[in-house]
Structure 1
Amino acid sequence: MLRSYFNIALRHLRKNRGYSLLNIAGLATGIVCAALIGLWIEAELTYNHDIPGYKNLYLVRENQTYDGKTDTYRATPGPMAKALPGDIPGIAKTARSGGNSRELFSDGKKTMNINGCYADANLMSMLSLQLVHGNAATAFQQLNSLVISEEMATDFFGKQDPVGKTLKVNNGNDYMITGVFKAPPENGSFQFQWLAPFDIEEGRQAWLRRWDANGIQTYVQLQPTADLAVINRQLKGYLATKGDISTECFLQAMDDWHLYDQYTDGKLSGGRIQYVRLFSLIAGIILLIACINFMNLATANSEKRAREVGVRKVMGAGKGRLLLQFMAESVLMAYVAVGVALLALLVVLPLFNAVVGKQLSLDLFNPLHIVLLLLIGLITGVVAGSYPALYLSSFNPVGALKQLKARGGSAAGFIRRGLVVTQFTVSIVLIISTVIVYQQIHHVKSRNLGFEKDRLISVVLQGELGKHFDALVHDLRQTGLVADAALSQSPMLNIWYNMGGYSWKGMDPSKDVLVTYNGVSPQYIHTMNMRLVAGRDFYEDARADSNSVIINQSMAAQMGAEGRVGGIIRHSNRAYNIVGIVGDFLYNNMYVNGAPFLLYSNAEYPGYISVRFKQDADISKALAQTEKIFTRYNPAYPFEYAFTDVEFTKFFNEEALTGKLAGIFASLAIFISCLGLFGLAAYTAERRTKEIGIRKVMGASVAGLTGLLSREFMKLVAVSCLLAFPAAWWLMNNWLNEYAYRITISWWIFIIAGILAMLIALATVSYQALKAALANPVKSLRAE
C-alpha cells in the first residue's frame, strides 16, 4: 500500500512540476538554513568534548569585590596549584599555565615566532595530549625542556624524530626537545604549538610565588567520586587561610568555559549560550516558514485535486487512507528537498565557514548527522503536510466532484492569509534586527575613545629593543613618517594590570577601589593622542617622575577633593603626586564608560612598543622604514606588529557575527516567503482568469488589473508590518539593554523595513499579475 501511495505521489509531482519545484525549493532552502545553524550549534555545544576527561576538568575562578562591585576573573595566585591537592580532598591533579606566549625559536638556520604555553607537566595528562615521540611522565624533568607539536617539529626537523635535539629560545638558552604531540583539537580552548615548564616563568618573576598576586590560570582535575559542591564550599574562603585575602574562589567546569563565560556581580549571567539559543530559534522559525509555504501552496492547489478526492471517496477510499496518501506525498517531497539541500550544502558550507570562522563539515558517516537529516525530512514532511492532508481528505465527495468545497473554502483561504502574514512578520522582524545590530556596532565603533586608534601599531617588546629604546625613537622620528613612539606594560586596548589597596585623604576606610594601571615611558600620552585636561605630561627624564602619576577623570571623580593636580594617592606605603589628569579613554570593554585608571612614569617592565605614524604619512612606506629601524636594533627578531584599529574591530566579533547571520537568514526567510507568494499569486491569477477577461472586455487597464491582483497581497504584508514592528522593538530593546553604551531605536528603521518588505512582495506578485492582465481576454473567456 505504501508503494502505491508513493507511486501516486511521484505521478503528482511529475504532473505539477511548477508547484513541485516551488515547494521543493522552499523546503530545501529551509533545510539548508537549519542544517548550517545545526552544524554551528553542534560545534558550540561540543567545544572541548574531544578531550576524553573533560567532565572532570575545571578552571579555578576568582570573585573579587571592590567598592561593593564583584568582578570575576580567571587569574589566580602562583602557589595555589601546588597547595590545592594537599589542602582539599577530592582534587586529583592541578596544573599552572601562564596563558598564551609567543616566543622566538631558532635552529641556527630557521627562525620563527610561535605561540605556545608555559605550563606544568600535569597539563599534558589532564588534556590527554597524545605524544608521538617522547614520554609525558619524564618530559619536564629538566628545566629547559620543550614539548612541541608535529607541525612545529616538521617545520624545523622535517620527518626526523626531534627528541634530544635542541632549539634556541629568544636567542638565549638552548631548550631540549623531550616530546612531540599531536595538535590539540581545533574545537577547543587550548591552541598551542609548544609547551615548556612553568618553573621557567616562576624563576623569572618572583611575584608568582606570592599568594596575594594573581596572574596565571590554575586547572584542576577532580577525582571521579569528588563532590563539586563540597569542594566549592571549601574553596570559597580558601585564600583567606593563606593571608589577608578576601577573594573568593570557585571551580568552573570545562564544559562551561566556552558557552557560560559572562558573570555579573559574581554570578553567572550568560555568554555565548545566548547566541546558541537565538540561532536555534531562528533555525526553527525558518524551517517553519518553509513548512508554511508547503501548506499554503498545497491548499491553494486543492481545487485541482478536488475531483480526484471525490472519485477516490466514491470508490471507497476512507479519510484515513486519503490522509496517509497525502502525508506520503508530503514526506516524499520533504526527502527530495533533503537531497537537494545536501547538494546545496556542499556548495555553501565553505562560504558559511568563512562567515563564522569555523571549519564545519557535514560528515555523512556520522550516525548523528544521518539520524538528524532523516528526522528533519520526516518532521518537515509531517508538519508541512499535516494541514493540507487533513484539508484535502475532509472534502465531501459530492461537493468535491462539483468543486463546491474547493471554491468555497473560506476557512482555508483565511488560514492561507494567516500563514502568509506569519511568514512576512518573521522576515520583517529579522530585517529590523539586522539593521539595529549593525547600528549598535557602528555606534560603538564611532564613539570617542579618548585616544586616536588610527595609524597606530603595537609591537611586542623582544630582545634588545628595551635597551635601545631612546635611540630607536630618535631614528623613527628622523624618518619624517613617525610622530612618536612609547613603551608600556600593556597594549592600549587590553590593559591587564589592576590592584586594590589605593588610598587618599578623605577616603572611606571601609572601601577598597580596584584601579587599572599601566607603567609607561614619557612619550605615551603624546603617542596615543590622549587629551590632557589638567596639569602636565610626564617629564622626558622618567626618573624625575618616579613618584608621580597621571590619573583619568573617572579616578579623579572617585577621589573627590583629592582627585586634582597636586593631590596625593598612596599604595604600599608609598605616596604618589598627581601631576596630570587625562580624559577618560576606553580599554578592555568598549561598551562601558570610563573606569578608574592611572599611569606610572615607569617602563621598568615594558611589554610593548607603540608607534604613531604621522597623519600625512604613506602607511606602506612608514611600515617599511619602521621595520628597517627595528631590525637594525633587534636583528635576531622578526618585525611583527598589530594595527590598533584592527584589534579594536575584534572587540565586536560576536556582535558582527550576529549581524551577519541575522542578515543572511533574513534574506533567506524573505526568499522562502516570496517563493510561496509567487505560487499563491499564480494560483490567484489562474482562479480569476474569467473575471480578468470580463474586466478587460469592459475596458479595465493593465495597470488597474495588476493593482487589483496585487492589492490583496499588499494588505497581508501591511498586516505583517503591524505585527512585526512591536515584536521587533521588544526583542531588540531587550538585547540592547545588555549594553551600557547603546543606541536608541529609531522609528525610521521600521518604516524602511516595512517599505522594503512591501517592495519585495510587490515585485514577487507583479510578474503573475502582469501576466494575467496582459492575457488575451478571448482565450481567458474561452477557458473552462
Structure 2
Amino acid sequence: MLRNYIATAWRGLLKNPVYSAINIGGLGTALCACLLILLYLVHEYSYDLFQANRDRTFSIYSVSPADKASFSESMSFMTGPRLAQAAPGVVRYTRVDMFPGKFRLGDVVPRKPLFVDDNFFQQFSFRLDKGDPATVLNRPFTIVLSRTLAQKLYGSEDPVGKRLSYNGKYTFEVTGVAADPPSNAYLDFDALCSLSSFAFMEDKQWTIKMEQNVEPGNFKTYIQLRSAADTASVLHVLRQLAAHHLDTTYYHTTGSYRYALEPMQQEHLEMHVGRATEHEYLRIFSIVAGLILALALINYMSLATARASVRAREIGVRKTLGAGKGNLATQFYVESALYAGLAFALGLLLFGLFKEPFLELLRLHIDDAFTGSPRFIAAAALLMAVTILLAGSYPALVMSAFNPMDNISAPSRGRAVRRVLTVLQFTVATAMIISLTVMKKQIYFFLHKDIGLNREHLLMVRFDRTMAPHYQAFQAEVAALPAVTATSVSLNGLFGGIGMITIQDGAFAANPLMVTDMETDSAFIDALQIRWRLRPTDPFWSADPRNVVLNETAVKALGLPADPRGLRAPGMRVSKIAGVVKDFVFESLIRKPDPVYITASNGSFGGGGTLLIRTRPDADTHALLASLEKIYRRYPSLFPFSYQFADDAFEQLYTTQIRMAGLLGAFTLLTIGIACLGLFGLSTFATLQRTKEVGIRKVLGAGVGTLVGLLTRDFLALVGLAVVIAAPLAWWVMQGWLRQFAYRVTVSPWILIVSGLGVALLAILTVSLQALRTARANPVDSLRNE
C-alpha cells in the first residue's frame, strides 16, 4: 500500500510541474535559510558543552558600583589563591591573563596567546596531542602551542623540546602541543604560557606586586567547586575577602564592587562578560527562521487545499470504493513527505553553497566538524520531521474529511482559510520590510551624526612600550611630513579601550559615579577638533599634570557650577579644573556620553600609546602610509607597523548592527520571494479555474483591463489588508528595538507608506502576469469543449 501511495504521489508531482516547482523550490529555499540559522543558533547555544566540569566551574566577575551596567570579568592576581584558601568549597582555581599584550615567538606573532596556571588542562577539557596534562605547564618559561601554530613554526617537525624566543628577551621551552580549541569554546588560544613565568619577567612582575588584593584586575579567574550547591557559601566568602581590600592611593574611593559567580556554560551568551553575541539577536533569528518556514508551509498548504477541487473527484471515487479517512490521510502525508524530502534535499544543496558566505557575513567561524556533529544533525532531523508533520496535517485532515457526494460535484473548499493565510504571509513580509528600513536608517544615522570631533582624515598608529621612550621623536618626524596637519598622543586612542575611575567621595559616597579618564598630550583637543565651551585661562595649562579638562556631561553629573575652572576635580586628590569642552563621542552612540576627565600626561606613555595623525584632505594616502612605515621602522619596536583610520574604527562599533541588518535584509528578500511565489501559485490556479468565465466575458465584450482587474482585485485587496495590519505592528516592534539606543531615529510615516506601496507593487506584478496572459488569450480555446 505504501508503495502505491509513493507511486501515486510521484505521478502527481510529474503531472503538475508548475505546482511542484513552486512547492519544492519555495520550501527548499526556506529550509536552506532555516538550516543556516539553525547552524548559527545550535552553535551559539553549544558553547563549552564539551567541558567535563562545566556544571561545577564558575568564573568570578565584578559589577561597578557607579554603573550597574558595567561589568568586569577579570580579577586580581591573588583573588584565586586567597579564595581557594578561605573557602572549603573551592576544589581548584585557574587564572587566565586576559591582557598579555602582543609578543613574538621567534618570527611569529601569536594570534591569541594566554598565560595560564599549571592546572589548566585539569580544569578544562582541551585535548593535548603531545605532553602530559599534569606537568606540561608546571615550570616557568614553558609553553604549549596549538596544533596550527606548531605547524606554522615547525612544519611537520616535532616541536616538543624546542626553545622559542619571547620578544628576544626570554626563552620558553615547548612542552606540549594542544588540539586547536573548538569554535564553540569560550576560551580561545593558540599558545599557552606558564603563569609562573611572571615572577621572573620584569615587565610582568609589577602585575603581581600591584594585584595582591581581592578586587578587579587583569586575570580571568575560574574556580571549580565540590558541588554547585556550594555557590552561595563561596560567594559569601568572596565578598568578605573583597570588603577588606581596596587601593585608595590616588583616587577617593571606598569600594563597593559587587561580586558574583558566572556558570561556565552561560559565559558566551551573557553580555556582562563582554561577548558581542546578544540574546536579542538570537531571539530575532529564531523568530525569523520560524517565520520563513511558516511562510513556505503556508504556500504548500494553500496550494494543496486550492487544488482540492481538482482532486475532489479522485477523493470522492476513492471514498466511494471504500477508502477510509485514515487511508486518505496517509496518502496525503506520503505526498507531503515526498515533497518535503525533495525540498529538504534542495535545502541541503543550497546550505552547502551558502554556508561560507553566511558565516562570512556573520564574521563567525564554525568548525567544519560541527556541521556533522550529532547535535546539529539531530536539530536538522527535527526540522525535517516538523516540516513533514506541518505540511501534511492540514491538507490531510481537510481533504480526507470531504463528503463523497460533495467531492464528486467538486465545490470550492477552504477559500476563507487560504485568504487568511495569504494575509498572514504579506503581513509578515511587509513588517520585515518596514523593520529593515528602520534598521538601515538607524545605522545610517549612527555613521553620519556629528559626534563632536572630526574623525575624517584621522589616522591612528599604535606604539608599544619598546618604542615609548622614543615616541616624541617619532611624533616629531611624523608631524614634519607635508601631508600631516596635526598630531597628538593618547594612551588608548579612539573608539577602543578607555580608562575609568570611580568617584565615591563627598556627595557620591552613597551613589558612586563612573568617569572616563583620557590620558593625552597637550595637542589632543585641537588635533581632534573638539570644541571648547570654556577655554583654559592659562594657555600653558597642559604643562601641569594636575590640570584636568572636563566635558559638559561631567560638569552636570558632578553638580559643578556652570564655570568650574579653578575648582578641584572630584575623585582626584590633587587636581584643578582647567577648562570644559563640549560633549564628544569617543565610544558608541548606543549610549549617551560618559563624564570625561582629560589629563595631559606629556612624556608619560611608558607602557605605549597611540599616535593620532590628522592628514590633509587631498593627501595621497598610499604615499603617506609608506612614509609613516619608513619612519616607524627607524625606532625599536616589537611589532610591525600597523594603522587604523578613525572612521573605520568608529564604524566597527556598529559591527553587530550592520551585520544583523545585512542578514535581515537577505532574509527579508527571501520572505518576500516566498510570499510572492505563493501568491503567484494561488493566482495562477485561480485564473485557470476561471478560464471559461473569462472566455465568456470576453465574448460578451469585456476588455483586457476589465478582465485583469476581475482576476486580481481579490488578491490585491488581501495584500492591502496585510499592509494595513503590518504597518502598526512593525511600528510598535521597531519602537521597542530603538529604545536600546541613546541616540535614535523616529519611525516616520513615510517609511510605513513607502514600504506598503512597495509590497503592493510587487503583488500587482506577481498576480498580473498570469491574469494578463489569460485575459489576452483567444476565448475560443477555453470554450471549445463546451
What TM-score, normalized to structure 1? 0.92
In structure 1, what residue type is equivalent to 2:628?
Answer: T
Does the alignment pair 1:150 with 2:147?
yes
Matches of 2:461 and 2:48 in 1, distance apart?
Answer: 32
How many Å apart are 1:212 and its aligned residue? Answer: 5.4
Does the alignment pair 1:623 with 2:625?
yes
| Alpha carbons of structure 1 residues 593 and 358: separation in structure 2 relative to 1, 3 Å | closer
Does the alignment pair 1:120 with 2:129?
no
How many Å apart are 1:426 and its aligned residue? Answer: 0.8
| Alpha carbons of structure 1 residues 454 and 761: separation in structure 2 relative to 1, 3 Å | same
> Identity, % of aligned pairs?
32
Tell me which residue corresponds to 1:587.
586
Matches of 1:759 and 1:144 in 2, distance apart?
Answer: 69
CA contact (8 A) 1:362 1:369 kept: no
Tell me which residue corresponds to 2:610.
609
Does the alignment pair 1:93 with 2:92?
yes
CA contact (8 A) 1:495 1:517 kept: no
Report Cα offsets for 1:418-468 as digits up to 9, x if no partner.
111111111111111111112122222222222222333333322542112
Does the alignment pair 1:43 with 2:43?
yes
Matches of 1:258 and 1:536 in 2, distance apart?
Answer: 46
Tell me which residue corresponds to 1:132.
129
How many Å apart are 1:40 and its aligned residue? Answer: 0.7
Tell me which residue corresponds to 2:569.
569
| Alpha carbons of structure 1 residues 734 and 114: separation in structure 2 relative to 1, 3 Å | closer
| Alpha carbons of structure 1 residues 623 and 672: separation in structure 2 relative to 1, 3 Å | same
RMSD: 2.7
Tell me which residue corresponds to 1:27.
27
Correspondence for 1:375 among 377, 382, 402? 382
| Alpha carbons of structure 1 residues 213 and 779: separation in structure 2 relative to 1, 3 Å | closer
Matches of 1:161 and 1:288 in 2, distance apart?
Answer: 54
In structure 2, what residue type is equivalent to 1:609?
Answer: T
| 2:169 counterpart SS class | coil
CA contact (8 A) 1:56 1:223 kept: yes
| Alpha carbons of structure 1 residues 10 and 123: separation in structure 2 relative to 1, 3 Å | same
In structure 1, what residue type is equivalent to 2:743?
Answer: Y
Which has the higher mean CA deviation after the structures are superposed, 245-254 or 227-236? 227-236
Matches of 1:209 and 1:132 in 2, distance apart?
Answer: 35
CA contact (8 A) 1:103 1:170 kept: no
CA contact (8 A) 1:102 1:115 kept: no
Which has the higher mean CA deviation after the structures are superposed, 284-293 or 57-66? 57-66
Matches of 1:283 and 1:207 in 2, distance apart?
Answer: 50
CA contact (8 A) 1:238 1:249 kept: no
Tell me which residue corresponds to 1:207.
210
Matches of 1:365 and 1:508 in 2, distance apart?
Answer: 56
Report Cα offsets for 1:480-528 as digits up to 9, x if no partner.
1223333322222124321224657xx4655532222122222322333
- 1:320-335 matched pairs, under 5 angstroms: 320-335=326-341
CA contact (8 A) 1:522 1:539 kept: no
Matches of 2:375 and 2:520 in 1, distance apart?
Answer: 55
CA contact (8 A) 1:539 1:545 kept: no
In structure 1, what residue type is equivalent to 2:431?
Answer: V
Tell me which residue corresponds to 1:216.
219
- Residue ranges of structure 1 left out of the alignment (5+ in a row): none
Matches of 1:100 and 1:220 in 2, distance apart?
Answer: 19
How many Å apart are 1:113 and its aligned residue? Answer: 6.0
CA contact (8 A) 2:72 2:272 kept: no
Matches of 1:502 and 1:618 in 2, distance apart?
Answer: 49
| More strand, by proportion | 1
CA contact (8 A) 1:485 1:523 kept: yes
| Alpha carbons of structure 1 residues 125 and 651: separation in structure 2 relative to 1, 3 Å | farther
Does the alignment pair 1:401 with 2:408?
yes
How many Å apart are 1:271 and its aligned residue? Answer: 6.7
Matches of 2:275 and 2:160 in 1, distance apart?
Answer: 46
Tell me which residue corresponds to 1:751.
753
Report Cα offsets for 1:391-419 as digits up to 9, x if no partner.
3223322232233xx24x3xx11111111
Matches of 2:375 and 2:607 in 1, distance apart?
Answer: 51
| 1:633 counterpart SS class | coil
Which has the higher mean CA deviation after the structures are superposed, 650-659 or 675-684? 650-659
| Alpha carbons of structure 1 residues 117 and 568: separation in structure 2 relative to 1, 3 Å | same
| Alpha carbons of structure 1 residues 541 and 365: separation in structure 2 relative to 1, 3 Å | closer
How many aligned residue pairs are there?
768
Correspondence for 1:273 among 266, 274, 279? 279
| 1:632 counterpart SS class | coil
Matches of 1:331 and 1:390 in 2, distance apart?
Answer: 15
In structure 1, what residue type is equivalent to 2:608?
Answer: G
Report Cα offsets for 1:80-128 as digits up to 9, x if no partner.
1111111112212222333143423253xx3546431233223343233
Matches of 2:670 and 2:663 in 1, distance apart?
Answer: 11
How many Å apart are 1:162 and its aligned residue? Answer: 2.9
| Alpha carbons of structure 1 residues 670 and 69: separation in structure 2 relative to 1, 3 Å | closer
Correspondence for 1:258 among 251, 268, 281? 268
| Alpha carbons of structure 1 residues 5 and 454: separation in structure 2 relative to 1, 3 Å | same
Matches of 2:370 and 2:177 in 1, distance apart?
Answer: 29
| 2:731 counterpart SS class | helix
Matches of 2:91 and 2:626 in 1, distance apart?
Answer: 53
| Alpha carbons of structure 1 residues 568 and 635: separation in structure 2 relative to 1, 3 Å | closer
Does the alignment pair 1:227 with 2:220?
no
In structure 1, what residue type is equivalent to 2:267?
Answer: W
Correspondence for 2:439 among 437, 440, 449? 437
Tell me which residue corresponds to 1:448.
450
Tell me which residue corresponds to 2:291.
285
| Alpha carbons of structure 1 residues 164 and 178: separation in structure 2 relative to 1, 3 Å | same
| 2:260 counterpart SS class | strand
Matches of 2:490 and 2:194 in 1, distance apart?
Answer: 27
Does the alignment pair 1:161 with 2:155?
no
How many Å apart are 1:365 and its aligned residue? Answer: 5.0
What TM-score, normalized to structure 2? 0.92
Does the alignment pair 1:349 with 2:333?
no
| Alpha carbons of structure 1 residues 92 and 448: separation in structure 2 relative to 1, 3 Å | farther
Matches of 2:128 and 2:541 in 1, distance apart?
Answer: 52
How many Å apart are 1:210 and its aligned residue? Answer: 4.1
CA contact (8 A) 1:535 1:565 kept: no
- Residue ranges of structure 2 left out of the alignment (5+ in a row): 247-253
How many Å apart are 1:308 and its aligned residue? Answer: 0.9
- 1:503-542 matched pairs, under 5 angstroms: 507=507, 510-536=510-536
CA contact (8 A) 1:133 1:161 kept: no
Correspondence for 1:774 among 765, 773, 776? 776
CA contact (8 A) 2:317 2:404 kept: yes
CA contact (8 A) 2:76 2:217 kept: yes
Report Cα offsets for 1:237-275 as digits up to 9, x if no partner.
441144563222110112111112249xxxx99972222
Matches of 2:751 and 2:612 in 1, distance apart?
Answer: 41
| Alpha carbons of structure 1 residues 392 and 135: separation in structure 2 relative to 1, 3 Å | closer
| 2:329 counterpart SS class | helix
CA contact (8 A) 2:62 2:72 kept: yes
How many Å apart are 1:629 and its aligned residue? Answer: 0.6
Matches of 1:524 and 1:137 in 2, distance apart?
Answer: 51
CA contact (8 A) 2:143 2:193 kept: yes
| 2:579 counterpart SS class | strand
Report Cα offsets for 1:743-778 as digits up to 9, x if no partner.
211111111111111111111111111110111011
How many Å apart are 1:53 and its aligned residue? Answer: 2.8
Tell me which residue corresponds to 1:14.
14
Matches of 1:598 and 1:636 in 2, distance apart?
Answer: 31
Correspondence for 1:457 among 456, 459, 472? 459
- 1:340-739 matched pairs, under 5 angstroms: 340-360=346-366, 361=368, 365-403=372-410, 406-407=411-412, 409=413, 412-462=414-464, 464-501=466-503, 507=507, 510-536=510-536, 544-561=543-560, 564-569=564-569, 571=571, 574-602=573-601, 603-612=604-613, 613-634=615-636, 637-739=639-741
